[in-house]
Chains A and B, each alone.
Chain A
Amino acid sequence: MSYTFQFADIWAARFDLLWGTWLTVRLSAMAMALSLAFAVVGAFLRLVGPKPVQWLITAYVEAIRNTPFLVQIYIIYFGMPSIGIRLNPNSAALAAMVLNGSAYAIEILRAGIESVARGQLEAAQALGLNRAQTFRDIILPQALRNVLPPLESQFILLLLASSVVSAIAANELTAVAHHVSSETYRSFEAYFTAAVIYVLLTLLFSVAFALINRLAFGKLDRK
Chain B
Amino acid sequence: MIRDFASADVTFLLLATRWTILLAVVSFFGGSVLGLLIALMRVSSSAVLRWIAMLVIRVNQGMPLLLQLFIVFFGADMIGLPMTPFMAAVIALSINAGAFLGDIWRGAIQSVPRGQTEAARALGLGYVARMRDIVIPQAVRIAVPPTVGFMVHHIKSTSLAAIIGFVELTRAGHLINATVFEPFLVFGIVAGIYFLLCWPLTVASRRLELRLAQPYRR
Residues of A whose CB lies within 8 Å of any CB of B are: 1, 3, 62-63, 65-72, 74-75, 78-79, 82, 156, 160-164, 166-167, 174, 177-178, 181, 187-188, 191-192, 194-195, 198-199, 202-203
Besides A1-B80, A66-B152, A191-B74, 18 other A-B contacts (C-beta < 8 A)? A1-B79, A3-B79, A62-B199, A66-B194, A67-B156, A67-B198, A74-B177, A75-B191, A78-B183, A79-B183, A162-B64, A163-B66, A164-B66, A167-B163, A188-B79, A191-B70, A195-B63, A195-B64
A179 to B40, CA, bound (A): 40
The DSSP consensus for interface residues of chain A is: helix
B194 to A3, Cβ gap below 8 A? no
- Residues of A near B198 (CB, < 8 A) are 66-67
Cβ-closest chain A residue relative to B76: A188
A75 to B67, Cβ gap below 8 A? no
14 A-B pairs whose Cβ atoms sit less than 8 Å apart in the complex = A63-B195, A66-B156, A70-B159, A75-B183, A75-B188, A82-B182, A82-B183, A164-B163, A178-B70, A187-B75, A188-B74, A188-B75, A195-B68, A195-B71
CB distance from A209 to the nearest CB of B (A): 14
- Residues of A near B74 (CB, < 8 A) are 181, 187-188, 191
B117 within 8 Å of A (CB atoms): no
B67 to A177, Cβ gap below 8 A? yes
Total A-B pairs, Cβ < 8 A: 128
B162 within 8 Å of A (CB atoms): yes
Given A66-B199, A75-B184, A164-B160, answer yes or no on A198-B194 (Cβ-Cβ < 8 Å).
no
B133 within 8 Å of A (CB atoms): no
Chain B residues bordering chain A, tally (CB within 8 A): 43
- Residues of A near B75 (CB, < 8 A) are 187-188, 191-192
B135 within 8 Å of A (CB atoms): no
Cβ-closest chain A residue relative to B68: A195
Cβ-closest chain A residue relative to B161: A70
B67 to A3, Cβ gap below 8 A? no
A70 to B162, Cβ gap below 8 A? yes
B174 to A203, Cβ gap below 8 A? no
Contact pick for A71, options B70, B152, B170, CB 8 Å: B170
B202 to A78, Cβ gap below 8 A? no
B59 within 8 Å of A (CB atoms): yes
